[in-house]
Structure 1
C-alpha cells in the first residue's frame, strides 16, 4: 500500500474463484471493483456472487467492463451489454462503473481515442454520468491523449519507488491499482491491490449514501449458507456447478432436486 491513510481495496473477477468476503473485510479492505462483462456478450460468471458477497460484508462496490471495441461503431453494443449485466444489482453498487481500456483493438491512437470517447459519451447518454476509466501508463502514452482528461481515472501504476506521474491529460487519479500480486485472506492466489485517493471516511463521503462506516464483521468458520433466493441460486451455480440458465424463480422438479442433493453430498458429505 502506498499510503497508510488511504482506504484499501481490491479488484476481482472469476479468476479469483469463490471468495470469502467476510475475511476480506476483516483484513481491512473497504472497497472492491468487480468484473461484470467483456466485449459485446461475455458476462463474468462470478459477477453476481461477488457483488452480493462484497456488499453483504460491508464493502463499497463498483463494476468494470473490459472493452474489446475496435471502432466507434462497436461502442453501443458494449455499453448496452455492460448496463444490462449490471442493472439487476445497480442499487447495491455505490462506486463508479468503469471502462477498462488496455488493449488496442482499435489500432491507431486516433481511432482508439475516437472509440474511447464514443464509449464514454454514449455511456453518459444512457446513464447521465460518465464512467471512470481504468488504464495504465504505456497505454496512455501510446494510445490515448489529453482529450480524455476530464474522465475520472483508475490508474494502474506499479512503480513503488516513485509517485504516479501525470499522463494523457490526467492531473490526478481517483483510485490507484498499485500491485497485481497481492495476497488477501479469503482469496486463493494473487489479487490486484488498490487504494482510494483519501481515507475511508472521505471515500464514504464521496460515494456512500449512508456515510457511516459499518463495523467489521467477525470471520465465520465454515461455509456460510445463503439466506435468500438469488444468493442461494448463485451459491448453487458456484459450488455445485448448476447451470447459469437456471433462474431463482424456476420450479424445481424432483429430478433437479435429486441432482442438487447428490452433488451436495458428493462435495460436502465426506
Structure 2
C-alpha cells in the first residue's frame, strides 16, 4: 500500500476504537442496509466473484444498496487455487466488481482463502503473491487477505510473506481474536461470528472511523 499498514490504520500498540461491519453474499438475498447503518455498522464487504466463472448474482444490488445507505464498501473474491493462476483470478475479480479507487468509500478488494489445501505451501504462497501483485499493479493498493489461523498454518506453512503489504482479515469465531497467524502483529478486520443481526457475518475494524477512512483512501 502507499503507506505502512500501521500508519494507515492509526495503530501503535494494538487496537484503538472498533468500527462494526459485516460481509454478505447472495445467501443474504435481502439486506436492510438502512437498519444496519442505524445500528452502528459502517462497512460492508460483498461477494463479487469466485474462480474465473462465477459472478455472485446479488453483488450489484448489494453494492448499490450499501452505497445508497452510506456504507464504506468493497468486494471480495473466493479463491480457487487449483483452477487457474492468481493473476488470472485477480483480473477476473477486477473486471467484475473488485476494483478500487481512492474515493474514500471503497475498500481494497478482499481475497477469501479457505477450504482444503490444494497446493503445496510454497505454491500457495506463490499463488497468493501472484493475485496480490496483479491487484496492486492495477489499483495501487494490495488486497485484504481473509483467512483463519488453521488454514494459514496448514496451507501456507504459516508464511509471513504478506505482513508488510496486505491487511489481514482474521476469521476466528470466538470471544477474542487471539494471536494472528503468519507473523501479522495485528488484524485489520476480525470476523468474529456468522450471525450478524442484519444478515451475513459480523466483522469489526481494528481502529476508529478515521482509520477505516484511511484504508478506503489508500
| Same fold flag (TM > 0.5) | yes
- Does residue 193 of structure 1 match 2:202? yes
Whether 2:20 is the aligned partner of 1:8: answer yes
Q: CA deviation at 1:107?
A: 2.3
Deviation readout 1:120-175 (Å, 9 max, x if unpaired): 11222222321111111101111121122222111111221x44203212111111
- Counterpart CA distance in 2 for 1:89 and 1:52 is 15
Contact 2:104 / 2:214 at 8 angstroms: preserved in 1? no
Residue in structure 1 matched with residue 95 of structure 2 by the alignment: 84
Residues 61 and 92, structure 1, Cα contact 8 Å, conserved in 2: no
Counting helix residues as a fraction of each chain, which structure ranks higher? 1
User: Following the alignment from structure 2 to structure 1, what is the Cα–Cα distance between the partners of residues 186 and 192?
Assistant: 15
The answer for the alignment partner of 1:181 in structure 2 is 195
Provide the rounded CA distance (Å) in 2 between the counterparts of 1:152 and 1:48: 25
For 1:49, which of 58, 61, 81 is the aligned residue?
A: 61
TM normalised by structure 2 equals 0.82
Alpha carbon RMSD of aligned pairs, Å? 2.4
| Alignment partner of 1:165 is 2:179 | yes
Please report the TM-score for the alignment, with normalisation by the length of structure 1: 0.67
Mapping for residues 224-235 of structure 1, pairs under 5 Å: none
Correspondence list, 1:1-270, <5 A: 5-70=17-82, 74-86=85-97, 93-104=105-116, 106-144=118-156, 145-150=159-164, 151-160=166-175, 162-184=176-198, 187=199, 191-207=200-216
Match of 1:260 in 2: none
After the TM superposition, which of the residue ranges 122-131 and 112-121 deviates more from structure 2? 122-131
- 8 Å contact from structure 1 (residues 70, 115) kept in 2: no
Deviation, structure 1 residue 19: 1.4
Structure with greater contact order relative to length (CA < 8 Å, sep ≥ 6)? 2
